[in-house]
Amino acid sequence: MPALHSHSLARAPPPGASRAGRASARASRCVCSAAPPLTNVLVVGGGGREHALCWRLRRSASCGTLFCAPGNAGVQAEPGVSCLPALDVRDHAAVAAFCARERVELVVVGPEAPLVAGLADSLRAAGVLVFGPSAAAAQLEGSKVFMKDLCARHGVPTADYAVFTDAAAARAHAAARGAPIVVKADGLAAGKGVVVAGSVAEAQAAVDAMLLDGAFGAAGAAVVLEEFLPGEEASFFALVGADGVAVPLAACQDHKAVGEGDTGPNTGGMGAYSPAPVLTAAMQEEVMRVCVQPTVAAMAAEGVPFTGVLFAGIMVSPDGRPRLLEYNVRFGDPECQALMARMRGDLAALLRGAAEGRTAEAAAAHLSWSPDAACCVVLAAAGYPGAYAGGEAIGGVEAAEATGAKVFHAGTRRDSPAGPLLSAGGRVLGVTGTGASMTAAAAAAYAGVDALQWPGGFCRRDIGWRAIKREQAASS
């Protein structure tokens, strides 16, 4: 087995350490520079993405008091993070009042639903600095129709499409276009509202499920039928500041299908890894030039400027051209886990600088990446993405982390402080490993997986296979 590199996932000293120990730790992070002003931060969300954000923020020299609402059992166990399960993030006034009371200077909104619901707007109106888009700008993810129409108006390369609210018309269009064809629910569907139909019958069944049967509720009140784009899919992330400046972050690939070999229904993501070899440095520059920057400019021109993370789903065609599949308006999950494992610098200062409109300055000072690869393997409850059981006991987390992996929690809970760790969702844990190659990173992640004790959980055993296949070909 290749040597495993676990140094990048080492834990920071807990805030309860001695004053000398804390000073020493801070000095090690801020060599030969004055300590930055501390920023109190609230992270909104309770999944694996938010656990990863809190874990990285806690390692930021400028991060002061750190809260997470609602958080989960894994976030609660992180030294120096306070979970707020009683703070209802749907109550915008309550969140604003909490920020005023606790002197929270920056709110980082993790999931898409609160952004689409306008939490960032409400907090900004209350004078709270927010990293995340307005409700109007969050339509880039909240409405596939909005996103496709914007791209069409501004020449962003994406698949041909048609929009329908009438099932008969949509069925006829699918028959006329033939298969393969892609059927998408217009609204938010937890990553599951996309069907890549291999036959006309499958496409028509997806149309009926969305428009007639209400499979995705209001999210499926309109559907987008898209041209199928062949190629290799990847995820590209850019940070967009309040000044309209977009800075590239990094590329990932995720595995949406539930089964090995990318088979079975789509999920919210069964694993992810970074970097993504298909998105070379030249390709990333092309994505910024033809997708990200024109989109940021278009949003500003149409009166809905975007601030936050712009997550571009990219299809790299067989001839090497990038085309946009979709946008998300936040860090991905589980992509965020892999990104945070590789990110260096001061995340709190970076996000605050972007929110204040000092994007280029903040990125130059606070953003860098480890050369190591990172691989996140998701453990899900049996039956996911369909019906699954909850409340199952999970053991071995400490043993898993003793291997050098980091276990990020997504759907977990403890019913009492000393009680067992219990499953509380479909996607439950994201075991993340790093290494000098993707082969080593995947081996590190699966070493952590194999140390866990959860008979009711399952995972794919081939996360990172495209990158590993490239490494094997290069070494042969």
- What does 56-99 look like in DSSP terms, one character per residue? HHTT-TTEEEEEEEE--HHHHHSTTEEE-TT--TT-HHHHHHHH
- Residue 101 domain boundaries: 7-134
Q: Reduced to 3 DSSP states, what percent helix, strand and coil does the chain have, rounded to the nearest 5?
A: 35, 25, 40
Q: 166 and 106, same structural domain?
A: no
Q: 165 and 128, same structural domain?
A: no
Q: 185 and 220, same structural domain?
A: yes
Cross-strand bridge partners of residue 381: 457
Please check whether residue 372 lies inside any domain of the structure: no
What's the burial of 179, exposed, middle or buried (CB within 10 Å: 0-12/13-18/19+)? middle
Report the pLDDT value the prediction gives residue 26, as an integer from 0 to 100: 40
Q: 183 and 129, same structural domain?
A: no
Interior/surface letters 335-358, b for 16+ CB within 10 angstroms, e for the rest = bbbbbbbbbebbbbbbbbbbbbeb
Residue 430 CA to residue 256 CA, distance in Å, equals: 14
Please state the pTM of the whole predicted model. Answer: 0.89
Residue 420 CA to residue 191 CA, distance in Å, equals: 30
Please check whether residue 257 lies inside any domain of the structure: no
Q: 165 and 114, same structural domain?
A: no
Joined tokens for residue 37: 């002003």
Residue 109 CA to residue 44 CA, distance in Å, equals: 5
CATH number at residue 217: 3.30.1490.20
Q: Is the peptide bond before 318 cis (omega within 30 degrees of 0)?
A: no
Residue 219 DSSP code:
G
Coil, strand or helix: which one is 170? helix
Joined tokens for residue 44: 């909104």
Beta-strand relationship, 271-274 and 373-381: antiparallel
Please check whether residue 107 lies inside any domain of the structure: yes
Q: 51 and 120, same structural domain?
A: yes
Q: 43 and 99, same structural domain?
A: yes
What is the number of structural domains in the chain?
Answer: 2
Residue 379 CA to residue 398 CA, distance in Å, equals: 16
Please check whether residue 111 lies inside any domain of the structure: yes
Q: 110 and 22, same structural domain?
A: yes
* Domain closes at, from 227, 248, 267: 227
Q: 122 and 27, same structural domain?
A: yes
Q: 112 phi and psi, to 5 degrees?
A: -75, -35
Joined tokens for residue 323: 């085309």
- The full length of the chain comes to 476
**Alpha helix (H) ranges present in 302-379?**
335-342, 347-355, 359-366
* Domain closes at, from 201, 227, 253: 227
Joined tokens for residue 244: 């309209």
Instruction: Calculate helix-pair angle for 144-154, 293-301, nearest 10 degrees.
Output: 100
Q: 20 and 126, same structural domain?
A: yes
* Domain closes at, from 116, 134, 152: 134
CATH number at residue 46: 3.40.50.20
Please check whether residue 66 lies inside any domain of the structure: yes
Interior/surface letters 10-34, b for 16+ CB within 10 angstroms, e for the rest = eebeeeeeeeeeeeebeeeeeeeee
Coil, strand or helix: which one is 337? helix
Joined tokens for residue 314: 């990219």
* List of the chain residues with pLDDT < 70: 1-36, 191
Q: 118 and 72, same structural domain?
A: yes
Q: Which helix (H) or strand (E) holds 236?
A: strand 232-240
Residue 285 DSSP code:
H
| Lookup result for tokens 């790093």 | 434
- Cα–Cα separations (whole angstroms), residue 462 to 19, 381, 401, 469: 45, 18, 20, 11
